Structure 1
Amino acid sequence: MFHALRNRNYRLFWYGSVVSNTGTWMQRIAQDWLVLQLTSSGTALGITTALQFLPVLLFGLQGGVLADRLPKRQILLVTQTVMGLAALVLGLLEVAGVVQVWHVYLLAAVLGLGAAFDNPARQSFVIEMVGKEDLSNAIGLNATAFNMGRVVGPAVAGLLISASHQHTGPVFLINAASFLAILVALGRMRESELEASPRRSAGKGALREGLRYVRSNREVRTILLVTACFGTFGMNFSITTALMAKDVYGKGAGGYGLLGTVMAVGSLTGALLAARREAPQLKVFLAAVIAFGVLESVSGLMPSYVSFAVVLVPLGLTSITALNTANALLQTRSDPVMRGRVLSLHVLVVFGTAPLVSPLIGWVGEEFGARWSLSGGGVLSLVGGVAGAVYLGRQRTVPVAAVEPEPVAASAA
C-alpha cells in the first residue's frame, strides 16, 4: 500500500511533509481565530482568505510556467523559505502584542504568493521522485500526509490557543519551525535519482500554449471545469466551519479546532483509499463531487454541534477523493512538458477562485446566517458535478487509464 515510499527521495519528502503539514494546519486555525478575535467579523475572515488566495489567482498560471521551465526542487527551496518566514513574522507580532488585522492581511498575501509558485512545482515534482508507476500511490500518500496534519494540527492549535489564554502567537512560531522539516528533506535529496521532466525553453507564449492544450483535451477540460465549480463554491471550510462553530453552535477555539480534526478523519480515510487505487477513474471523480455536493447541502441543516460534526466525516472523505482523483487524472493525461501548466490550472480552480467568492461567503454568513453560506455552496457543487456527468455521458468515451496523451512539442517561441 505504501510502495511509493521505497523511493528514497520521496520518502524524505513525505516525512518532511507530515511535519510541515501539521504546522500549516495549526496556522490555519490560529489565523482564522486571530482575525475573529481582532474583528468579530465574518467579512474580515473572508477578506483574509481572499488575500491568501489572491496571489494564486494572479500568479498561479505563471507558477506553472516556471515549474515547466526550472528545476522544481530549487523552486520549492525558495517558496518554502518564504512561507516559513511569513509565519515567523506573524508569530513574533502576536507574541509582542502589537499585531493588527492589516498585519494578518499582509502576511496572508505573502503566504499566498509563496503558494502560487509552490503548488504547481510541488505537485508536478511527485512524478519526478517516484515515476509514473508509483504516481497514484504517491498522490494518495501525499494526501495522507496532508490529512494527518489536518487531523492533528487543528486539535493541537485549539488546545494551545486555549492553554495560552487565547494567544495565537505560539502556534505561528511552531508552524515557522515546521518548515525546516521539508527544507532539510529537499536539501538531502539525491538529484541523480530524480526523473526530471523535459523542461520548456525560455520564451514567450508558454501560458497560451498551456491554455490551448487544455482546450483541445475534452476530459482534462471537463475535470478542470467541474473542479472549479466545487472548489469555488464548496471548499470554503475555513470560513463556513468557523462561522458555524462560533455563531450557530456557540463554540470557542477548541470546538472549532475539533471540527477541523473530525473532517480530517474523513479526508484521511479518503486519502488511504486513494493510495490503494492503481489507476484514477473519471467515474470515481464525478461520483465523489456529486456526493460532496449532497453532503455539504445537508450539513448546513444539522440541528446540533454533534450532528454537524458527524456529517463532516463523509464530507471530508468525498472532498479528498474528488481532489486526489482529479490530480491523478490530470497528471496521467497530460504531456510531461505541459504538466506544470496543467496542474497550475488545477490549483487555480481549487484555490485561486477564493478571492472572488470568500468575501461574499463571509457576507452571506453574516447577513443571512452561516447555514445559508454552507448549504448554498453544496447545492452549487452538486450542480457542477451533475452537469459534468451529463456532458461526458453524452460523449463517446474510452477508459482514461488506457489512453496515452498525444505528445506536445515544447515551444521555443
Structure 2
Amino acid sequence: MPPVAASRSPWRSLKYRSMRWWSVANFVSNAGTWMQLTVQNLLVLQITGSAAATGLSMSVQAAPALLMSLAGGAAVDRWPRRLTAAVSQSLLGAIAFATAALVATGRLDLTILMVLAALTGIVATVDGPACALLGNDLVPPDDVPSAIGVGSLVHSAGRLAGAALGGVTVGFLGTAAAYAANGMSFLFVAAVIPFLRPAYGVLRGAAGAAHPAVPAAPASASAAPDVEPVGQDMTVRQGLVFFMRRPRLVALAGITGISAVFGRNYNLTLAVLVTGPLAGGAGSFGTVSTVLAVGGIVGAVLGARLRQPSVRLVGMLAATGGLLQVVAGFSPSFAVLLVLVLPMAIVETVSDTAGTTVLQTDPPAHLRGRVLGVWGSISTTWGLAGPPALGLVMELAGARGALVLGGLVIAGSIGAGSLLRRRRSTAPVVLRTEEHDATARPALGTAA
C-alpha cells in the first residue's frame, strides 16, 4: 500500500499493538462509567427524593475541574505518565468499590455521596490529562488525529454498551453491582497500562514520562515571535502563561467557547424544538438523538483521517455548524430537521477531533499536562454557563430563536475574528533601505 494512502486511513493508529490494547481498555472503562452513570441519578433520587440534590451532586463532582485542573495538569507533567494514569485509575476504582459497598449495606447517605463525588472530581483532574496524553504517546505525531478519532469511536461504543448493560445489571443484580462493575473496569485499565509501550521516535522526559518527540526550540525569539522560550520547571503559572501567550490556543479557546455556549447543547435546544414547535414527542426526540449519535460516529471516522489539523480548520467547521444550526431553526417539519441533524453532528465531531489534536500536540511535551489543565478549567466554565444561557435565550426567543441567534453569533464571531486576523497579517510594513537611510541622515563630514 502506498505510504500516503496508509497515512490517510482513519484506523492507522491501530497498527500499533499498544494502541490496540489501549483502545480495548478504554472501551471497557467507558462501558463501566456509563453503566454507573445510568443508575447514579436514580440512586440520588432514591436517597434524597430531591431533583435539586441530584443536580447538586453533579455540580460537586464538576467543581474540582473548575478549581484544580491547573494543579492536576502540573502533576501530569511532573510525574511519570504511565504511573500517574495507573494510580489515578486505581483510585477511581477504589471509590467505585467503596460506593458499591455502601449501597449494598444501606449506609450511603447524602453527605457521604457528596464526599465521594468530590473525591471523584479531584482524581479526574489528574486522570483526564494523564490518560489523554498517554494515548497520544503510543503513536507517532502524524497519527495522533487517528488516535483521537478512534478514541471518540470507542467512547461512543462504550456509552451505548454501558447504558444497555446498566439496565440489565440493575435489573438482575442491583444498583451496587453497577458500581462494582465500574470499579472492575478501572482496575482493568490500570492492569493494562504497565504493558503499554510508546511508539518509535518517542523520547522520555526528565520525570520518566514518555513524551512524543518535538522539534528543538528556535535559536532566536524572532523565529517564533508568539512564544517566549520556556524553561523546564514544572510550575502551574508557566502553563497558564504559555497558554495565554500562544495566539492559536487562545483563538481555539474562543472558537470552542462560543460554540459551546451558543450551540452544541442539542439535548436542550432540539428537545424543546421537537416537542414544541414541531409537535413531536419523546419518541421523536429519541430519533433525533439516534441521528446525532450516528453523525458523531461518522464524524469521528472522518476526523481520524486528518493529519495536521489547524485552528483555521476548526474555525471553518465551527462556523459551518453555526450556519447549519440557523437553517435547523427554520425547519418547517420534523423530516427536514432530521436531514440537517446528521451534518450538524458530523461537522461538530470533526471540529472537536481537529481542536483536540491541536490542543494536545501544539505545546512542548513538558507543558502539555498543564495546558490541558488550563483547558479543563475553561471547558468546565463553558459547560456550566452554556445551558443556563441557552435556557434564558429560549425563554425570550423560543427554541427557533435560540438556534438561529446562537448560530448567527457563532458564525459571525468566527468570521469577524478571521477578518481581523487577516487585516493584521496583511498590514503594510515599511522597510528601511540603504537609499532611504542615505537621504534621511546628513552625510558624514557635513554640518548638521
TM (normalized to structure 2)? Answer: 0.70
2: distance between equivalents of 1:299 and 1:101? 42
Q: Distance in 2 between matches of 1:301 and 1:103?
A: 47
Q: 1:169 to 1:200 in 2, by over 3 A?
A: closer
- The CA deviation at 1:322 is 2.6
After superposition, residues 1-400 of structure 1 pair within 5 angstroms as: 1=9, 2-37=11-46, 38-41=48-51, 43-161=52-170, 163=171, 168-190=175-197, 195-196=202-203, 198-199=205-206, 206-231=235-260, 263-293=292-322, 314=343, 316-351=345-380, 353-354=382-383, 360=388, 380=406, 383-384=409-410, 386-396=412-422
Q: Do 1:232 and 1:357's aligned partners in 2 also have CA atoms closer than 8 Å?
A: yes
Q: Identify which of structures 1 and 2 has the higher relative contact order when contacts are C-alpha pairs closer than 8 Å and 6+ apart.
A: 1
Aligned with 1:334: secondary structure? Answer: coil
Separation of aligned partners in 2, 1:57 and 1:210: 16
Q: Percent identity?
A: 26
The CA distance in 1 between the partners of 2:391 and 2:416, in whole Å, is 33
> SS state of the match for residue 142, structure 2?
coil
> Which one-letter code corresponds to 2:186 in the other structure?
F
Q: Which amino acid aligns with 2:101?
A: L
SS of structure 1 residue aligned to 2:196: coil
Distance across 2 between alignment mates of 1:49 and 1:66:
24
User: Cα deviations across residues 278-302 of structure 1 (Å, max 9, x unaligned)?
Assistant: 2214344224434555667888999
Contact 1:55 1:112 in 2 (8 A): yes
CA shift in 2, pair 1:224/1:22, >3 Å: same
Give the distance between the partners of 2:113 and 2:323, measured in 1 at CA.
34
Judged with a 3 Å threshold, the aligned counterparts in structure 2 of structure 1 residues 6 and 345 are, in CA distance, closer, same or farther, namely same
Decide which structure has the larger Cα Rg and report it: 2
**Cα deviation code 1:308-356 (max 9, x no counterpart):** 9987655543443232211111233322232222222223322355456
- Contact persistence 2:66–2:376 (CA under 8 A): no
Coordinate RMSD, CA, aligned: 4.4
- Give the superposition deviation at 1:56: 0.9
Please list the CA deviations of residues 167-204 of structure 1 after superposition, one character each: whole Å capped at 9, or x if unmatched: 54332222121112211210222479682454589997
Task: Return closer, same or farther for 1:233/1:46 CA change in 2, 3 Å cut-off.
Answer: farther
Once residues 263 and 154 of structure 1 are traced to their aligned partners in structure 2, the CA distance between those partners, rounded to angstroms, is 16
TM-score (norm 1): 0.75
Aligned equivalent of 1:410: none
**Residue type of the alignment partner of 2:372:** L
TM-aligned CA distance change 1:170 to 1:214, over 3 Å? same
For structure 2, the 5+ residue unaligned runs are 1-8, 209-230, 425-448
Contact 1:50–1:356 (Cα < 8 Å) also in 2: no
Tell me: CA distance 1:189–1:155, structure 2 relative to 1, closer, same or farther (3 Å). same
Q: Contact between 1:302 and 1:308, CA under 8 Å: does it hold in 2?
A: yes
Q: Which SS does the other structure have where 2:309 is aligned?
A: coil
8 Å CA contact 1:56, 1:352 repeated in 2: no
Moved more, 238-247 or 210-219: 238-247
Distance 1:344 1:80, change over 3 A: same
Aligned length: 389
Structure 1 unpaired stretches of 5+: 399-413
Aligned AA (1:30): V
Which stretch shows the higher mean deviation, 340-349 or 267-276? 340-349
- In the TM superposition, what is the alpha-carbon distance from 1:144 to its structure 2 partner? 1.6
1:232 Cα deviation (Å)? 5.3
Kept in 2: contact 1:284–1:325 (CA 8 A) = yes
Aligned counterparts of 1:306 and 1:40: Cα–Cα separation in 2:
37
Amino acid at match of 1:67: V
Once the two structures are superposed, what CA deviation does each residue of 1:204-262 show, in whole Å capped at 9, x if it has no partner? 7722222222222222111012223334565667888999999998869xx99998766
Distance 1:287 1:33, change over 3 A: farther
- For residues 303 and 35 of structure 1, the distance between their equivalents in structure 2, rounded to whole angstroms, comes to 40
Distance 1:35 1:211, change over 3 A: same
